[in-house]
Structure 1
């Protein structure tokens, strides 16, 4: 019990930086709670001038989107799913095919039904109907894309980009603006027949650190995983951590601190950090090595500029017999960090790790385009709601996160992701696949729950963050929408 208390307290102390992370595109310290300006924490009043949704509804944007999409789906006539809702892999090769009149009904009829719903929830003023109209038009555009009517979809995208701004005080309008941009990219990619997105990893890493400072989601992923790894490394003298997408390594100083001060003495720590840029990996390794040196801890860092699923020779990971092996994976939708899912799974089985820590976004990358559209619209509406409750619409940190991270994720899910675009079938829920492929779940402990709860305590309860423990996992969400799920796994015979 004492050890568990020290873990929680020690990790929270590490929220204050021991060292500056000085990438040129990164601003601010490692992880801070002191940077949070309490004067800006005022619930939904930060966007009280929001024109498109009812301010008195506690979970208004994500609930609004859920109800609107449900209404639109119910309003669509029955049709042959093979003809109307083709998956990315099955779309016709001839572009510009028309949508049937039954599939895309006239907007006046559809909006009449939307207006009836808006009166029921007391949003029925002109501005409220404009917000509902945006979602209705966005959904119509998604339907047109799903049946490959790219000409009509392009016309609707142009209309959406004129109506919605990513700088608007309304969270709903910002969501529509970014989704419209992503679908514009999807249309262009479909016309060209391929998609090769450019990824500025320095820009992403800097924005990711800002996201870490203004929201509990990244901290939740880091600290709950650290706790599970710490418990797996108990009384082990030599340990090895493989991070499948290490980025800046913001997660690991807190774990190093606890390992360096444990009663049985610090272990020898080896870390394999994976990523796309060798330059950034070397910089991350330098920062972590300097931190470990200050703690007096024996540490080795091994960079691998390759996707985990693309590794064909296990010697690249420098696995040593006798080391307690932990594999960590914080999933995100920014880019494909691991490559083909089935190859990644096979490699995990070959490595036979003592512990796998997995933090997943509760959003599917598989299935048809329309499936991904509806799921991601509900998911990111909740994300935008959570940011809007904490930061005013003109806040530069909020805009940086929305533009450099969330927009990129939406674009990847809609414009890039999916079996038809990547060439690979993606697992819908990775933790389910782990269970089906011989891995055993390790229930997240009470200390992990305490870690997560202490992190949430940094954000006033009025913000609406929710934390639940379900089937051995920990789930963090906004109001009633689960957004991130942390789980831990082991093999039948762990090293």
Structure 2
């Protein structure tokens, strides 16, 4: 379908936003210059900002009682900063323990069944199942990441063999995932055998730990401390876990390298799980009553989301490939009606407008966009105004409508006002996962979508399993997923970048806390992988359509436009495109049709 492939050209999201409206309009959208403007972003707006799907509903609330000068240290570090670091022998005492391991088959069976669980809230039972230790619950997940242990040498992937030395691969440092795997394998070995738990690491490919640089060794030891702390939290040995986390607190920082920043937020989440498990934070009050951090208040959430979109390749790769699929599926239509679930900036529709305007072999009579939301109608309408201005600059016939309902259950087909001559397209970018905790609403939404009789539905979702009922599995999955994201930040943005700090803290850090510190209805971040979504869509007679070579070309072209693009990976899972970082999937893009 090369005839319907649009030209990539130069795409500058910041420039487009600035050109869509006046500076005052842009200030209103990105939070404005006053505190009253920032109040637009309340708890219900968390879905709009979840570019990678790991943001809790409490994203606007930050660590309590921190002064501006203390930013960079967690409240737990502040509580212990007057104390001396734990003596080495105390730490060793905590790491010497024995576990009663059930048959390995028991663990493997549960892990194999994770993807087949029905979408919906899955309450954790791990505290009641002491016979299923964190060690074996995590073993196979660690092994699953083993086959992807690799180094990137330019565009060439070099697989590690049993005789390869780390120091001989290249001048590049180990990736965040590789550091975690080194620590993970050492964790498994030291907890399943008698001996010094801080002995020299033994790599699964017989790679010598002595080949690591000093910083890599420190990073691996820091992750090892985190793993041991998570094990203690899993078994509700909160006193020992707290001692280990206190040691982590002295070694990590949200201003350090990617490992130190990653451990910082995971340690924060484990601290909160301890506080909740021991009763210091009552259940159902996660994040409530906390005082915002003064410096975090100065961060502009919307501006940071724009920076994420501009600096990291994942979203743009999916958007361009998705828009190409839309263009191909409405190639013969004079009127195109796009139903967007959770529109956010709507930058993808400026891409579509340019593509439609460049189709010289046909004249588009109307492009209509209907934005669906459950809150913040004024923000959706502001997006609509900017899109109207952009369409006028392209001389493209265009109308915009917002459909805002208080509850997804109130969404009805007639609200879309679909004309029989319109080719309907449904677009969902990181929205469906937000309804996983409410399966009745997710099912209701899909039934309404089916009634619109769309030609195609384009779905972009986070490719991560954060919905496991087992804390151990959830911890490991989340650790590897966020390791890829933080590794990407390190390659794409400076450590002092305020937008990077906002993205990591507000969006990712709060998401990690929700994934690991809460259970039941409070745990809202419940993403699942494409295999689970595929089974879910099949219930509504939806099948995946093939992504054309043009869509894949667009994805590859966008990827190469980024300085860090050579570390970005594109893979196929069936007919679904997986966009990842150094082999770890970050998001999926599916094109679906009803049969």
Q: TM-score range by the shorter chain?
A: 0.7 to 0.9
| Partners of 2:191 and 2:197 within 8 A in 1 | no
| Residue 385 of structure 1: aligned partner | 487
Cα offsets for 1:213-254 (capped at 9, x unmatched)? 111111112111111122222222333222222112122111
| Residue 297 of structure 1: aligned partner | 396
SS at match of 1:9: coil
- For 1:307 and 1:71, the matched residues in 2 are separated by 50
Cα offsets for 1:244-287 (capped at 9, x unmatched)? 22112122111112223323212422222234322211211111
User: In the alignment, which of 283, 291, 312 is matched to residue 193 of structure 1?
Assistant: 283
Q: Structure 1 stretch 266-275 or stretch 471-480: which is displaced more? A: 266-275
- Is 1:365–2:466 an aligned residue pair? yes
| Residue 255 of structure 1: aligned partner | 352
- For 1:301 and 1:462, the matched residues in 2 are separated by 34
| Partners of 2:324 and 2:550 within 8 A in 1 | yes
| Residue 441 of structure 1: aligned partner | 544
Cα offsets for 1:278-334 (capped at 9, x unmatched)? 22112111111221232233333232445874445444444554532222222279x
Alignment of 1:477-492 (within 5 A): 477-492=580-595
CA 1:308/1:489 → structure 2, altered by over 3 Å: closer, same or farther?
A: farther
| Residue 434 of structure 2: aligned partner | 336
CA 1:223/1:119 → structure 2, altered by over 3 Å: closer, same or farther?
A: closer
TM (norm. structure 2) is 0.64
Q: Structure 1 stretch 243-252 or stretch 394-403: which is displaced more? A: 394-403
SS at match of 1:23: helix
* Deviation of the 1:195 alpha carbon: 4.7
CA 1:424/1:363 → structure 2, altered by over 3 Å: closer, same or farther?
A: closer
CA 1:188/1:322 → structure 2, altered by over 3 Å: closer, same or farther?
A: farther
| Partners of 1:274 and 1:308 within 8 A in 2 | no
| Residue 184 of structure 1: aligned partner | 271
| Partners of 1:361 and 1:483 within 8 A in 2 | yes
SS at match of 2:284: coil
| Residue 23 of structure 1: aligned partner | 27
SS at match of 1:22: helix
| Residue 142 of structure 1: aligned partner | 230
CA 1:204/1:392 → structure 2, altered by over 3 Å: closer, same or farther?
A: closer
| Partners of 1:326 and 1:355 within 8 A in 2 | yes
- For 2:553 and 2:366, the matched residues in 1 are separated by 27
* Deviation of the 1:165 alpha carbon: 0.3
* Deviation of the 1:345 alpha carbon: 3.6
Cα offsets for 1:48-67 (capped at 9, x unmatched)? xxxxx989455432112123
- For 2:577 and 2:544, the matched residues in 1 are separated by 13
* Deviation of the 1:392 alpha carbon: 3.2
SS at match of 1:467: strand
* Deviation of the 1:449 alpha carbon: 0.8
SS at match of 1:166: coil
* Deviation of the 1:142 alpha carbon: 2.1
| Partners of 1:435 and 1:441 within 8 A in 2 | no
CA 1:257/1:146 → structure 2, altered by over 3 Å: closer, same or farther?
A: same
- For 2:443 and 2:20, the matched residues in 1 are separated by 36
Alignment of 1:93-492 (within 5 A): 109-112=196-199, 114=201, 120-123=208-211, 128-168=216-256, 170-190=257-277, 191=279, 192-195=282-285, 203-262=300-359, 263-275=361-373, 276-306=375-405, 309-311=408-410, 313-331=412-430, 336=434, 340-352=438-450, 353-367=454-468, 368-416=470-518, 419=520, 421-422=522-523, 427-428=528-529, 429-460=532-563, 463-492=566-595
SS at match of 2:347: coil
List runs of 5+ in structure 2 lacking aligned partners.
Answer: 32-152, 155-165
CA 1:332/1:223 → structure 2, altered by over 3 Å: closer, same or farther?
A: same
CA 1:294/1:61 → structure 2, altered by over 3 Å: closer, same or farther?
A: same
- For 2:410 and 2:245, the matched residues in 1 are separated by 40
* Deviation of the 1:430 alpha carbon: 1.9
CA 1:392/1:424 → structure 2, altered by over 3 Å: closer, same or farther?
A: closer
| Partners of 2:182 and 2:201 within 8 A in 1 | no
SS at match of 1:488: strand
- For 1:423 and 1:213, the matched residues in 2 are separated by 27
List runs of 5+ in structure 1 lacking aligned partners.
Answer: 28-42, 45-52, 78-104
SS at match of 1:300: strand
- For 2:560 and 2:213, the matched residues in 1 are separated by 37
* Deviation of the 1:189 alpha carbon: 4.7
* Deviation of the 1:357 alpha carbon: 1.0
Alignment root-mean-square deviation, CA: 3.7
| Residue 8 of structure 2: aligned partner | 9
| Partners of 1:189 and 1:195 within 8 A in 2 | no
SS at match of 2:7: helix
TM (norm. structure 1) is 0.76
- For 2:463 and 2:263, the matched residues in 1 are separated by 20
CA 1:11/1:461 → structure 2, altered by over 3 Å: closer, same or farther?
A: closer
* Deviation of the 1:149 alpha carbon: 4.0
SS at match of 1:258: helix
CA 1:186/1:443 → structure 2, altered by over 3 Å: closer, same or farther?
A: farther
SS at match of 2:496: coil
| Partners of 1:241 and 1:327 within 8 A in 2 | yes
SS at match of 2:362: coil
* Deviation of the 1:480 alpha carbon: 2.1
- Is 1:66–2:181 an aligned residue pair? yes
| Partners of 2:29 and 2:379 within 8 A in 1 | no
| Partners of 1:272 and 1:301 within 8 A in 2 | yes
| Partners of 1:227 and 1:447 within 8 A in 2 | yes
Cα offsets for 1:9-60 (capped at 9, x unmatched)? 3575889634357134749xxxxxxxxxxxxxxx99xxxxxxxx98945543
- For 1:490 and 1:371, the matched residues in 2 are separated by 33
CA 1:407/1:204 → structure 2, altered by over 3 Å: closer, same or farther?
A: same
